[in-house]
Amino acid sequence: MEVIHTHCAGLDVHKKTVVATISIPDGRSGVLRETRTFETLTPNLLAMSDWLMSLGITHAAMESTGEYWKPIYNILENNYEVLLVNAQHIKQVPGRKTDVLDSEWIAELLRFGLLKASFIPPQGQRELRELTRHRTNFVRERATLVNRLQKTLESANIKLASVVTSVVGVSGRAILAAIIACQTDATQMAELAKGRLRDKRDELSKALEGRVKPYHQFVLTELLGQIDNLDEAIARFDKEIEKYCDPFEVEVELLDTIPGIARRNAEVIVAEIGIDMSRFPTADHLASWAGVAPGNNESAGKRYSGKTRSGNQALQVALTQAANAASHTRNTYLGAQFHRLAARRGKKRAIMAVAHSILVIAYHIIQRKEPYFDLGSDYFDKQRPEATAKRLMKRLQRLGYDVSQIQIPNTVPLPA
């Protein structure tokens, strides 16, 4: 095979050590290989970088092993072309598994150009991505605490969640404060309801008839305190993320025009895929990388399970949330797509299809720097108007109406 990189290194990364094997010409039409082991402390990684530089190394490759590759990438990215590769693509031959052999195998594959680098965002985008992912973790922790709060209320025979939409909303917090303050009159607590919830005061009064004990009040106090702390932390994250979004503000605002996409989701999408769409040849490549495209499993002319592949989990969550929100919108293309697919394929598949569409739309919006243009809820009906008319006529016939006098004009479907 043809040698692509003459001066390269393979790195086998672990938590405490990294094994580096270099592969360079030996001056006699051969290859010189040398292996050294370094600790993953910053001074040791700098020593490894100096050693690689003294040998003229231009390319280095390593597996994407959890979070352990990041310290090494931070040290090497400015002086070498570093390839972070999928571990499944460079599995060692069974029966020959050691750290030294792993690093030698990585160096050999890199030498012949057989490794495909993973997508590593630039520094600014990586920092934004770290912030958005940490904020997502805080939001999840808050949701967990709210669930624990609800379990505590159920333990006290308080069925507040059966009446109010959010137990930590304005009305819910006022009622919880009354419970913690040893208020026992359910009718008086029901009067604390705000807005449209006041129309349900009788139902709310029944739901608040419980058996609250002192330990319930203690637990509720602690949980509400934790929720308040997380709310403050999330608000600080929002402000910090807004600062880091300054270079991407145009793209964030454009993505915010898509139905179902709020600013927080737009920030996550930009943090995960960036604004340079040249990294992904097509929108389909991006959807496959994100893990929202149907799987490709065919053999002997038969198609098997089309289960989606594993991809970027943070991006998948954001797209799924946006798809759920878009499915509830009216008079929109995405809402019509959801209802059209949910009737045939089920809600879960429909949500994934809408998430795929949102990502494809985001790809083109970022690429063209144009706001979203909605095709309308009747887009699918206009593609085949005659078929739509016939389907509606059959529904009228099943309801007992006489449609024999209705004439369907010959129309030409609109172009896709």
pLDDT digits (tens, 9 = 90+) for 139-156: 999 999 999 999 999 999
Of 281 and 294, the one with more pLDDT: 281
| pLDDT surpassing 80 at residue 32 | yes
Q: Which CATH class is domain 124-244?
A: mainly alpha
Q: What is the mean pLDDT of the chain?
A: 91
pLDDT at 10 over 60: yes
Where in the chain are the domains?
8-111, 124-244, 248-297+306-368, 387-416
Q: What is the pLDDT of residue 94?
A: 61
pLDDT at 416 over 50: no
Confidence check: pLDDT of 412 > 60? no
Buried/exposed code over 358-376 (b: 16+ C-beta within 10 A; e: otherwise) = bbbbbbebbeeeeebebee
| pLDDT tens track for 160-169 | 999 998 999 9
Per-residue pLDDT of 38-82, as tens digits, reads 999 999 999 999 999 999 999 999 988 788 999 999 999 999 999
- Alpha-carbon distance 240 to 87, whole Å? 34
Q: What is the pLDDT of residue 296?
A: 76
Same fold, 8-111 and 124-244: no
The Cα 189–Cα 203 span in angstroms is: 12
Say what percent of the chain tops pLDDT 90.
75
Indicate the pLDDT class of residue 257, thresholds 50, 70 and 90: very high
**pLDDT score for 57:** 96
Q: Using CA atoms, how far apart are residues 357 and 384, in angstroms rounded to an integer?
A: 21
* Domain covering 8-111, topology: Nucleotidyltransferase; domain 5 (3.30.420)
- Work out the average pLDDT over 175-189: 93
Specify the pLDDT at position 393.
Answer: 87
More confident residue, 286 or 90: 286
Q: What is the pLDDT of residues 110-142, one digit of tens each?
A: 999 888 888 889 999 999 999 999 999 999 999
> Mind listing the pLDDT tens digit for each residue in 194-241?
999 999 999 999 999 989 999 999 999 999 999 999 999 999 999 999
Output DSSP code: residue 277.
Answer: G
Q: Is the CB of residue 40 less than 8 Å from the CB of residue 12?
A: no
Rounded Cα distance between 249 and 237, Å, is: 16
Please identify which residue in the block is written with the tokens 């890199």. Answer: 110
Q: 110, 5 in Cβ contact below 8 A?
A: yes
Task: Identify residue 331 by its one-letter amino acid code.
Answer: N
